[in-house]
Amino acid sequence: MSSTVNYPFPKNFIWGAATAATQIEGAAAEDGKGPSIWDDFSKQPGRVHGGHTPEIACDHYHRFPEDIRLIRKLGLKNYRLSIAWPRILPEGRGAINQRGLDFYRRLIDTLLDHEITPWVTMFHWDLPLALEHQGGWRNRGTAEAFGTYADTIVKALGDRVKNWITLNEIPCFIGLGYKEGRHAPGAKESPRVINQAYHHAILAHGQGVRAVREHGGRGARVGLTHNPETAIPLLEIPTDIAAARRSFAERNAHILAPIFHGRYPAEYLRRCGADRPVVAKGDFALIAQPTDFLGINIYTGYFVRAKGSRAEALPFPAQYPRAASEWLYLAPQAMYWVLNHCHALYQPKAMYVTENGVGYDDEPAANGEYLDLHRRDYLRQSLLHIQRATQEKIPCKGYFLWSLIDNFEWADGYTRRFGIVHNDFETQKRTPKLSAHWYQQVVKQNRLL
Ligand code: PNW
């Protein structure tokens, strides 16, 4: 067999699946957990599709042993989960809720018993509501409170967790949450407030890195998970590639540049003008501490071509194919290009795709199976582009599929299923879809099938 049809992945490539606390746990007010901004937001009329709330979700809080057996059965040796800040510190700061810590200890011990390595995200959008009442991410104090929270969880779990992710997708929880108002807390703030909120978020990332360095113990690793807006060169020719690279650097300037280069680019500050963020002394030293990897969540991209010396981003025509999730334009080349751009611009030591997947409203076929051929194809295309990157020695070291199981898809509620395992939200019955069986084989053989 020729190697071109083989599509092997590098030895020791990490294969996993990802979830997040709010989206699967349920038990929103159990065992002392405080309310998060998503608990509150979802109760406001017209915010979340169908008035759905994360109150029960996949009931993973009670069913995690079953779910972990499923992860094991699928042959996944790595699992990315998030810790709910308001479960640990119900008020965001101050008193620790021991029962919250105990839950994550049990969860992580069960993973380890099944020889599954946990990859733990410290913050996946569920800000304690009490902190939002003090300004949320508009307030620099939130970054400091995050530092104390990070200290708490790393001290409590650092003996068993070695892979830490500080924050998930800053552009979503700041941009969608505070600028566009589509996500919790549903605010529409001015550019000045938004730029400052972004700064507080990268400051919190710095606090997370510091906490892992101070308390993580031997072998602890840490990085940010970012979801870059990803420019795909229209043609793979030097001029379009250079234009795409420029567009990519520009759109991610407020996050990747300070983290990897220790400053805001002059061009970004010019764009902000009088609304530029206020930076305190020492901020960049915290923000730009070296990390061990960059996590990348990638679902879609946009096409760019060179127009003279400018980079022109092309609007998608109405008929361009998308998933059921309307923002999810099908552009699998984004996977290759996000890795290529990040490697060229920032040289992270390693990159992990910490999320990739696709939302459809799956229905069972006549025989009862979930024949999600469209999801399978999306995932397969994505992996093909990772494989290309790894062949070119771009250091992409692993892949976490979003998501293990259908879950609470934020403002879309329980529609837009991303799982490779179907969940019946009435009965909580889990049923692996065709894509799960396919992924199981890919992981087992460490090559694309
Ligand atoms: C990411 N958009 O969210 C999150 O990290 C996951 O929690 C989420 O379930 C997954 O991707 C699928 O959506 C996004 O509207 C949510 O552009 C919305 C957008 C992008 C990413």
* 168 touches ligand 1 (CB under 6 Å): yes
DSSP β-bridge partners for residue 417 = 360
pLDDT band of residue 24 (cuts 50, 70, 90) is very high
Amino acid 275: pLDDT = 98
> Is pLDDT at 4 greater than 60 in this prediction?
no
**Is the per-residue pLDDT at 1 higher than 70?**
no
Q: How does pLDDT run across 169-197, given as a tens digit for each residue?
A: 999 999 999 999 999 999 999 999 999 99
- Compute the distance between CA of residue 84 and CA of residue 88 in angstroms, rounded to an integer: 7
Counting residues of the chain whose pLDDT is more than 70, the rounded percentage is 99
Residue 409 to residue 52: CA distance in whole angstroms: 10
Residue 327, ligand 1, Cβ within 6 A: yes
Pocket test for ligand 1, best of 165, 166, 170, 172 (most atoms within 8 A of CB): 172
Most ligand 1 atoms within 8 A of CB, residue of 224, 378, 410, 423 to mutate? 410
The Cα–Cα gap between 228 and 395 comes to 17
CA distance 346 to 389: 16
What is the Cα–Cα distance from 202 to 64, expressed in whole angstroms? 32
Q: How many angstroms separate the first and last alpha carbons of the chain?
A: 14
Residues with catalytic function: 169, 355
The answer to whether 120 and 157 are in contact (CB under 8 A) is yes
CB atoms within 10 A of CB 113: 11
Band (6; pLDDT cuts 50, 70, 90): confident
Gap from CA of 274 to ligand 1 centroid (Å): 31
- Neighbouring CB atoms inside 10 A of 132's CB total 23
CA nearest 420: which of 442, 408, 435? 435
Index of the ligand 1 atom closest to the CA of residue 125: 7
Cα–Cα distance between 175 and 93 in angstroms, integer? 24
At 214, list the tokens.
């101070």
CA 282 to chain centre: 27
Interstrand relation of 351-355 and 396-402 (parallel, antiparallel or unpaired): parallel
Ligand 1 and 169: CB distance under 6 A? yes
With a threshold of 0.95, does the pTM exceed it?
Answer: yes
Question: Ligand 1: distance of its center to the CA of 169 in Å?
Answer: 8
φ, ψ at 27 (rounded to 5°):
45, 45
3-state secondary structure string, the chain?
CCHHHCCECCCCCEEEEECCHHHHCCCCCCCCCCCEHHHHHCCCCCCCHHHCCCCCCCCHHHHHHHHHHHHHHCCCCEEEEECCHHHHCCCCCCCCCHHHHHHHHHHHHHHHHCCCEEEEEEECCCCEHHHHCCCHHHCHHHHHHHHHHHHHHHHHHCCCCCEEEEEECHHHHHHHHHHCCCCCCCCCCCHHHHHHHHHHHHHHHHHHHHHHHHHCCCCCEEEEEECCCCEEECCCCHHHHHHHHHHHHHHCCCCHHHHHHCCCCHHHHHHHHHHCCCCCCCHHHHHCCCCCEEEEECCCCEEEEEECCEEEECCCCCCCCECCCCCCECCCHHHHHHHHHHHHHHCCCCEEEEECCCCECCCCCCCCCCCCHHHHHHHHHHHHHHHHHHHCCCCEEEEEEECCECCCCHHHCCCCECCCEEEECCCCEEEECHHHHHHHHHHHHCECC
Q: Which residues contact 74 (CB under 8 A, 6 or more apart)?
A: 17, 420, 432, 436, 439, 440, 443
Phi first, then psi: what are they for 446, rounded to 5°?
Answer: 55, 40
Instruction: Give the span between the Cα atoms of 419 and 430, in whole angstroms.
Output: 10
Distance 401 CA to ligand 1 centre (A): 13
Residue 367 CA to ligand 1 centre (angstroms): 31
Given pLDDT bands bounded at 50, 70 and 90, which one contains residue 414? very high
The protein residue with its alpha carbon nearest to ligand 1, atom 17, reads: 327
pLDDT digits (tens, 9 = 90+) for 418-437: 999 999 999 999 999 999 99
The model's pLDDT over 382-392, given as tens digits with 9 standing for 90+, comes to 999 999 999 99
Q: What is the pLDDT of residues 121-131, one digit of tens each?
A: 999 999 999 99
Cis peptide before 403 (omega within 30 of 0): yes
Looking at every residue in the chain, the average pLDDT score rounds to 98
Per residue in 322-341, pLDDT (tens digit) is 999 999 999 999 999 999 99
Which atom from ligand 1 is nearest to the alpha carbon of 325? 13
Query: Tokens 């990490």 appear where?
Result: 14
Q: What is the pLDDT confidence band of residue 5, given thresholds at 50, 70 and 90?
A: low
The confidence score (pLDDT) of residue 263 equals 98
pLDDT in tens, 233-261: 999 999 999 999 999 999 999 999 999 99
Number of residues written out for the chain? 449
> What is the position in ligand 1's atom list of the atom closest to the CA of 328?
17
pLDDT tens digits, residue range 75-84? 999 999 999 9
Mean pLDDT across the stretch 297-324?
98
Residue 280 CB contacts under 8 Å (≥ 6 apart), including other chains: 140
